[in-house]
Amino acid sequence: MKRVSTPRLGIALIASLVAVLLLAVSAGAASAQEGRTIGRGFTGTVVSATELSLTIESKGQLFELFVPENTMISNPPDRDVALADLPEPEYKIAGLADQRITDENGIVTVEPLTAVKLTVIPSKATREHKRTIAADKEGEDLTTLDEDGTLTRHAGQGAGIEKGEAIVLLVRAAGKGQTGKVVRSFIKAKMVDERLDRLAQAQTEDPLKIGVLDDLRKKREDLQEKRLERTAENAGSGFKEFVLDTVRTFKETKEERRGRGGVGKILSECARKIAGDRATTITALDADMRRQVTEECLNPEKIATAQAPKVSITSPTSGTVVAADEVVTVTAEAKDDVAVVSVTFAVAGVDVATLTAAPYTTEIKVLTGVSSVEVRATALDEDGKKGKDTIRLRVARTTDVGVSITSPAASVDSAGGSRRSTVSGSAEAIAEGDTISIQADVKGTGTITVVFTIDGVAQTPIAAPPYAMRYFVPRTNTNTAPAPLVITAAASDGLGNTATDSVTVNIVRKATNVVVKITEPSPNAKFKGGDTVVINATTNDDSEIAFMTFSVSGVETVDSVAPFSHTQKVPGRTTAPAATSNVPPNVFVGTATLDGRPAPDGTLVVAWIAGSDSSTLSIKATATALGGELGSASLSLPVSNAVNAGEATVADGKYVLNAAQPSGQSFNGKTVSFTVGGKDAAQTGTWKQGGADVIDLTAN
């Protein structure tokens, strides 16, 4: 339904009046019925609407109300709304007209009806409540703390409310032109307790109702306790201790109330044993059971008179000043009209010891970071009744912060070998390359932060025990003695109090005896030109080696990752001219094929024969330790170089080559290899003096 505010038009008024007359005639035609008369005030359902009026059904009657601009209209939670702001039809409404809606016979008034006041009846509650705590108050300004840790300031709304009180806030959705939720009023939570107490006292003649009310109280108290604990968890540092005190006070009150019990609780338990838990009031019982409850439970002579045990903490007395982390002996005395079953000691609401026989004495450790600590003793008797006593100890907040480096210890002297290493299992003095443990003991209250500084470099702050860290002692890689290690620990608390401690620890050089061994190639290996040599070397402790340097015929290569290895190619065939000799040569003839085709004219064909051991491959492996120490191993191996025994050029795809034996060497029986155009041929021959061989050469 869309309504638009418009001036009152004559045509609209006439239409409205005609509708009213039609409704009146229809209503007049019906017989008047008792109970269908409606005065000026009414409740009903809006069945239709125009921009100027509402058609309403009430007590079976239909009537139309003209709604002028000055009509007071409320649509909770909003007030003073326009007709266009109301819901679509078929909603409940209450109102006041300017005259009776029907006469005494239930006939709708013929005269036009005008609405004076209209209020929409909500289908659900428009207000809700939430619990919170008065965390702070300045004058009439109140700050509340919700269980999620939210702080809200309510200016000028704190009258009659004290800091620390539990509060129930009544809130509703925002009205017209507002956002969020609006706080309507504050109610002290204890007022709910007081009303419940008054209600319970008014039911002393109905023990079953007492039980129902007692269960209701327990559920509400348990929920409130959990709500307060969540508030404490989420409260900021400025309010946490305050909320924890509120939690402790609430628990004390709850335990005291439940332990006290009283006649009402006894009556309830007695009645429930007879009627069962489902019965909620004595009037719901039949005559026989009601009489039984009355005789057995409401008879003063038969009401149980058992008393709760009495307990008293005799040492220390409340208010005694103790130190944080101090161990205090607590002693209590307990007595009962039947028998004491146990005494339980609790610190800050947490049970720490339960004793089943006297003497009731235990030791407790005082908490840190608090200004006071609650100690409670609870006695339990055979009837399940409890008695308790509570004291509060004051915790002295010292301004003294202390710190002491416990590891490593300072060196005794510079020449005495210094202190022992903190490396697990080591019996050596601290040396370069060690990983050591640095630790400190701290005293003080609250949150203590320790910063270790090592050789002038501040490390990451540590804000909780254990105050310890690991540190790698760097290597200097020099021949001079390492400088001492200076370690400082600086401790500070939240109040700005500080303390420092420092130690100086001598460091020794970790001398490494480097032994190098070349494991490959073997000392008896022989190579010829063009071969690839793989060189492997190891040491007595590769983990202490920074890098290995390989030198092959004067050319150096470095490998820094174990296992250490290097690959070297031996220089190929000599480029010297073909050999000549007076000894009859071995003649080789045949065809020459290069890359699958007859070799072009002029292609060079060379015969190669391994000569004498004319060169040496010099290998040296040198290891450099992390501390700079050196170690090396060497190896010299013969290399047999190939000799150019003869050359020829190709003509018409054929070659003729004389392979000569140089003076001073013997080729007899040696293998002859060939190259065609610089490429190795697949065929070989055997040299013999004055020989003649036909070998067709193929090179690709």
pLDDT of residue 12: 36
373-404, pLDDT tens digit by residue? 999 999 998 877 889 999 999 887 666 788 99
Burial 430-452 (b: 16+ CB within 10 A, else e): bbbbbebebbbbbbbbeebbbbb
Per-residue pLDDT, averaged over 628-652, amounts to: 86
SS3 of residue 325 by DSSP? coil
pTM score, two decimals?
A: 0.31
CA 654 to CA 590: how far, in whole Å? 6
Per-residue pLDDT, averaged over 587-595, amounts to: 95
296-313, pLDDT tens digit by residue? 776 655 544 557 899 999
Q: Confidence band (pLDDT; 50, 70, 90) for 425?
A: very low
Pick 23 or 186 by higher pLDDT: 186
Q: Confidence band (pLDDT; 50, 70, 90) for 423?
A: very low
pLDDT of residue 211: 66
pLDDT of residue 192: 67
pLDDT of residue 411: 59
Q: Would you say residue 113 has pLDDT above 70?
A: yes
Return the number of other C-beta atoms located less than 10 Å from residue 423's C-beta.
Answer: 16
Per-residue pLDDT, averaged over 59-84, amounts to: 87
pLDDT of residue 35: 65
Return the number of other C-beta atoms located less than 10 Å from residue 21's C-beta.
Answer: 12
User: What structural domains and CATH numbers belong to the chain?
Assistant: 10-120 (2.40.50.320), 127-305 (no CATH), 310-396 (2.60.40.10), 402-505 (2.60.40.10), 586-699 (no CATH)
Least confident of 225-229, 238-242, 319-323, 538-542: 238-242
Least confident of 411-425, 477-491, 520-534: 411-425
Per-residue pLDDT, averaged over 418-432, amounts to: 52
Q: Confidence band (pLDDT; 50, 70, 90) for 4?
A: very low
List Cβ neighbours of 527 (8 Å cut-off, separation of 6 or more).
Answer: 533, 570, 617, 637, 638, 639, 640
pLDDT of residue 420: 44
Nearest Cα to Cα of residue 596 among 485, 679, 673: 679
Mean pLDDT for the chain overall:
80
